[in-house]
Amino acid sequence: MSTNSIQLAHGGGGLEMNKLIRNLFFKAFDNCILRNEEDAALLNLQGPTAFTTDSFTVSPLFFAGGDIGKLAIAGTVNDLAMMGAEPQYLSLGVIIEEGFPMASLETIVASMASELKKCGAKIVCGDTKVVPKGCADGLFLNTTGVGRIVKPGLSAKRLMPGDAILVSGDIGRHGAAILMAREGLELESGLVSDCATLWGAVEQLLVHPFDIHAMRDATRGGLSAVLNEWAAASDVMIEVDEAAVPVSDEVKGLCELYGFEATDLANEGTFVMALPAAQADGALEVLKRFGHCENAVIIGRVGESPAGRVILHTPWGSNRYLDLPAGELLPRIC
Amino acid sequence: MSTNSIQLAHGGGGLEMNKLIRNLFFKAFDNCILRNEEDAALLNLQGPTAFTTDSFTVSPLFFAGGDIGKLAIAGTVNDLAMMGAEPQYLSLGVIIEEGFPMASLETIVASMASELKKCGAKIVCGDTKVVPKGCADGLFLNTTGVGRIVKPGLSAKRLMPGDAILVSGDIGRHGAAILMAREGLELESGLVSDCATLWGAVEQLLVHPFDIHAMRDATRGGLSAVLNEWAAASDVMIEVDEAAVPVSDEVKGLCELYGFEATDLANEGTFVMALPAAQADGALEVLKRFGHCENAVIIGRVGESPAGRVILHTPWGSNRYLDLPAGELLPRIC
């Protein structure tokens, strides 16, 4: 059997699978819960816990600023953080296409291990499946996470008139980076995905007495999706100053070229936050201490009517509704 | 857009995905945690908790006795049950190939909902990804579950000389049913997969004062894999009377035809248990009250040496090692 690529036997439940699990996954993610090798990991959880799942099918698997492994850790850790929860334990489900290069798998696993170190979460159980050549596109991952809720009550339903809307950084970079990688524009731009674990910055926000109403990372559907979901769930109007929304020149350029709106593009390390306007500057000050949040800024505010709608004030003085994205957007963004 | 099949937009994070999630998944799995629609589900867990993940890539998606949906619920629920945990909350990750028939997805989702009702567990969060045609083989699922540990201390490391080894039913039916479905033998046999949720039977075992040392469902790698892993983890010898191992005539026939060993074939609703020999008859009595465990039987016992090995006593008086299966076995069994 070739040891340079994944074979069907690596998913067969026998000898070869055991070797792969021990030599690759256990070594990279080493912790005593994982090493127990029971049917399920044993956790000691107390009280309110957040629980979230994400599958990752991004194409290509490697892109400027990250890879599917980094994405899979950051994505699930960020979903926990957005609920005010400390990311603690993750499961990892791996679906691999027969013939997938072992070296690529090793790189992706190392990338996961490195991202885990940034937030202290651990992979404590896993599952490996191998499908025949042609039955999957290289590699799919699922990460499911649990975390202790440090700050209860964060909710898409809690926005109130008078809240300020903040974003933690310039938007659309993950979507743009994937687009760039697909179109082979890697060398022509300094643009990298925003893919990052947000727990460090969120943890600092949560130790301050801010009355944060809601946080959400603006992944698929981008800023538009988050704001529309919030406006609907809280039955409020959200207004955004288009000129205040930070967008890098590289993302602007790609959007013009391909006809996308930066507000619809996915992010993987950028989040939106709603809290009383009086506290917004204080929250910004905390956020800006973190490298990947140094472009954090207030982009809008919450009002009453028309309830359920998001209004964009353009730099030219006109207003338009910012709608939930429809259609295909950019498939396989995460 | 066609409503008869899955389109890329169903995974785009926008309008179409929202509709799919509300009209299909929320309706089938309805519960108040799921309906919160936050980035993560909020659970109130107390004390020792089991946590397990499984991805499902079975081919074909529909087989005698079940489908990928039933399998995905039973598989994860059973992993929790095997650790002495009451299955409580599940996440669901769905990866769908563009063009997948909506009717098949509906059938699979209904199958999941029906299997959940048998154990009381709830799907409380989910994720949907759609990949372009040719990038996946129809549908892959991931279920990750958490459950309250009712009986602590079950472990592959706890087998002791003097334990009896029980199986809850005749072995190899899931593997054989998948093989049959692939070879188009559906109509020629009454054989169905053993795919079933084991929590009902396990719950009854756990309310009795049996000192169960270990339980494990014999999935990929079959009975051989479980016994070899146990012998290694507990550093004991396990001996099995081949004649006592229940195998249906249909499974025997298929094994002869294709050159498989029933002990290597996967099960999805059959488990192995180790407990002190004096308690084995009592445990059997409890198990046999359940329809899918009525063939439960003692197949062997735990000894000391050679430690780490499984010995099979054949009906002809000879002995051989039962080894961990190697090679491909039957790919995409679950």
How deeply is B129 buried, as exposed, middle or buried, from its count of CB atoms within 10 A (0-12, 13-18, 19+)? Answer: buried
Pick from B84, B94, B75: which is nearest to B29 by CA? B94
Banded pLDDT at B56 (limits 50, 70, 90): very high
Fill in the amino acid letter for B104.
Answer: S
**Euclidean distance between CA atoms B234 and B165, whole angstroms:** 14
Whether residue A185 is predicted with pLDDT greater than 90 in this model: the reply is no
Whether residue B100 is predicted with pLDDT greater than 80 in this model: the reply is yes
Distance between the two ends of chain B, CA-based, in angstroms?
32
Q: Is residue B178 within 8 Å of residue B219, measured between CB atoms? A: no
* Token pair belonging to B325: 């299966």
Beta bridge partners of A127: A93
Mean pLDDT of chain B: 94
Q: Across residues A110-135, what is the average pLDDT?
A: 96
Mean pLDDT of chain A: 94
Q: Is residue B51 within 8 Å of residue A146, measured between CB atoms? A: yes
Whether residue B2 is predicted with pLDDT greater than 90 in this model: the reply is no
pLDDT tens sequence across B104-134: 999 999 999 999 999 999 999 999 999 999 9
Q: Across residues A157-183, what is the average pLDDT?
A: 95
CATH number listed for the domain at residues B8-149:
3.30.1330.10
Nearest to B327 among A12, A85, A126 (CB): A12
Beta bridge partners of B275: B164
Q: Across residues A164-188, what is the average pLDDT?
A: 89
Q: Across residues B53-65, what is the average pLDDT?
A: 96
User: Tell me, what's the pLDDT at B315?
Assistant: 92
Q: Across residues A170-191, what is the average pLDDT?
A: 86
- CB–CB of B85 and A327 under 8 A? no
Handedness of CA A174, A175, A179, A182 (dihedral sign): positive
**Euclidean distance between CA atoms B281 and B52, whole angstroms:** 30
User: Tell me, what's the pLDDT at A151?
Assistant: 94
pLDDT tens sequence across B129-154: 999 999 999 999 999 999 999 999 99
B334 interaction partners in chain A (CB closer than 8 Å): 129
**Euclidean distance between CA atoms A297 and A285, whole angstroms:** 10
User: Tell me, what's the pLDDT at B15?
Assistant: 83
If residue B39 lies in a helix (H) or strand (E), which one and from where to where? none
Instruction: Determine the distance in angstroms separating the CA of A43 from the nearest CA of chain B, rounded to an integer.
Output: 5
Whether residue B286 is predicted with pLDDT greater than 90 in this model: the reply is yes
Whether residue B327 is predicted with pLDDT greater than 90 in this model: the reply is no
Handedness of CA A97, A102, A103, A106 (dihedral sign): positive
Banded pLDDT at A187 (limits 50, 70, 90): low
Q: Give the angle A242-A243-A245 at the CA atoms, nearest 5°.
A: 65
User: Tell me, what's the pLDDT at B187?
Assistant: 53
- CB–CB of A129 and B39 under 8 A? no
User: Tell me, what's the pLDDT at A100?
Assistant: 98
CATH number listed for the domain at residues A163-321:
3.90.650.10
**Euclidean distance between CA atoms A171 and A169, whole angstroms:** 6
* Token pair belonging to A37: 């090798």
Whether residue A3 is predicted with pLDDT greater than 90 in this model: the reply is no
**Pairs across A and B, CB distance < 8 A:** 287
Instruction: Determine the distance in angstroms separating the CA of B141 from the nearest CA of chain A, rounded to an integer.
Output: 9
Banded pLDDT at B161 (limits 50, 70, 90): very high
Lowest average pLDDT, out of A7-21, A129-143, A278-292, goes to: A7-21
Most confident listed range (A98-112, A249-263, B13-27, B251-265): A98-112
The full set of domain ranges for chain B reads 8-149, 163-321
**Euclidean distance between CA atoms A314 and B321, whole angstroms:** 76
Whether residue B194 is predicted with pLDDT greater than 90 in this model: the reply is yes
> Which residue in B has a C-alpha nearest to residue A98's C-alpha?
B331
User: Tell me, what's the pLDDT at A152?
Assistant: 94
DSSP B7-28: -GGGGSSSHHHHHHIIIIIIHH
Instruction: Determine the distance in angstroms separating the CA of A89 from the nearest CA of chain B, rounded to an integer.
Output: 9
Lowest average pLDDT, out of A286-290, A300-304, B11-15, B152-156, goes to: B11-15
Q: Across residues A212-216, what is the average pLDDT?
A: 98
- CB–CB of B9 and A327 under 8 A? yes
A18 interaction partners in chain B (CB closer than 8 Å): 324
Whether residue A189 is predicted with pLDDT greater than 80 in this model: the reply is no
User: Tell me, what's the pLDDT at B12?
Assistant: 81
B149 interaction partners in chain A (CB closer than 8 Å): 42
Q: How does strand A237-241 pair with strand A310-313? A: parallel
- CB–CB of A12 and B229 under 8 A? no
pLDDT tens sequence across A17-69: 889 999 999 999 999 999 888 889 999 888 899 999 999 999 999 999 999 99
Whether residue A320 is predicted with pLDDT greater than 60 in this model: the reply is yes
CA distances from A299 to A241, A272, A305, B252 (A): 6, 10, 18, 68
Whether residue A2 is predicted with pLDDT greater than 90 in this model: the reply is no
Instruction: Determine the distance in angstroms separating the CA of A22 from the nearest CA of chain B, rounded to an integer.
Output: 13
Whether residue A182 is predicted with pLDDT greater than 70 in this model: the reply is yes
Q: Across residues A165-194, what is the average pLDDT?
A: 89
* Token pair belonging to A323: 């709608």
Q: Give the angle B28-B32-B37 at the CA atoms, nearest 5°.
A: 85
- CB–CB of B219 and A126 under 8 A? no
User: Tell me, what's the pLDDT at B185?
Assistant: 74
Beta bridge partners of A50: A147, B42
If residue B252 lies in a helix (H) or strand (E), which one and from where to where? helix B249-258
pLDDT tens sequence across A239-268: 999 999 999 999 999 999 999 999 999 999
Instruction: Determine the distance in angstroms separating the CA of B173 from the nearest CA of chain A, rounded to an integer.
Output: 17
- CB–CB of B57 and A324 under 8 A? no
**Euclidean distance between CA atoms A169 and A271, whole angstroms:** 8
Nearest to A216 among B18, B39, B144 (CB): B39
User: Tell me, what's the pLDDT at A62?
Assistant: 96
Q: Across residues A3-17, what is the average pLDDT?
A: 87
CA distances from B62 to B15, B96, B111, B114, B254 (A): 30, 15, 11, 15, 19
**Euclidean distance between CA atoms B125 and B123, whole angstroms:** 6
DSSP collapsed to 3 states, chain A: CCCCECCHHHHCCCHHHHHHHHHHHHHHHCCHHHHCCCCCEEEEEEEEEEEEEEEECCCCCEECCEEHHHHHHHHHHHHHHHCCEEEEEEEEEEEEECCCEHHHHHHHHHHHHHHHHCCCCEEEEEEEEEECCCCECCEEEEEEEEEEECCCCCCCCCCCCCEEEEECCCCCHHHHHHHHHHHCCHHHCCCCCCCCCCHHHHHHHHHCCCCCCEEEECCCCHHHHHHHHHHHHHCCEEEEEHHHCCCCHHHHHHHHHHCCCHHHCCCCCCEEEEEEHHHHHHHHHHHCCCHHHCCCEEEEEEECCCCCCEEEECCCCCEEECCCCCCCCCCCCC
Pick from A223, A201, A246, A189: which is nearest to A329 by CA? A223
Nearest to B12 among A53, A125, A328 (CB): A328
Pick from A190, A186, A174: which is nearest to A264 by CA? A174
Whether residue A101 is predicted with pLDDT greater than 80 in this model: the reply is yes
User: Tell me, what's the pLDDT at A72?
Assistant: 98
> Which residue in B has a C-alpha nearest to residue A92's C-alpha?
B53
Nearest to B326 among A16, A49, A54 (CB): A16
Q: Is residue B283 within 8 Å of residue B273, measured between CB atoms? A: yes
**Euclidean distance between CA atoms B74 and B268, whole angstroms:** 7
Pick from A25, A38, A305, A84: which is nearest to A204 by CA? A84
B13 interaction partners in chain A (CB closer than 8 Å): 219-222, 225, 266, 325, 329, 333
A150/B328: higher pLDDT: A150
If residue B211 lies in a helix (H) or strand (E), which one and from where to where? none
Beta bridge partners of B47: A45
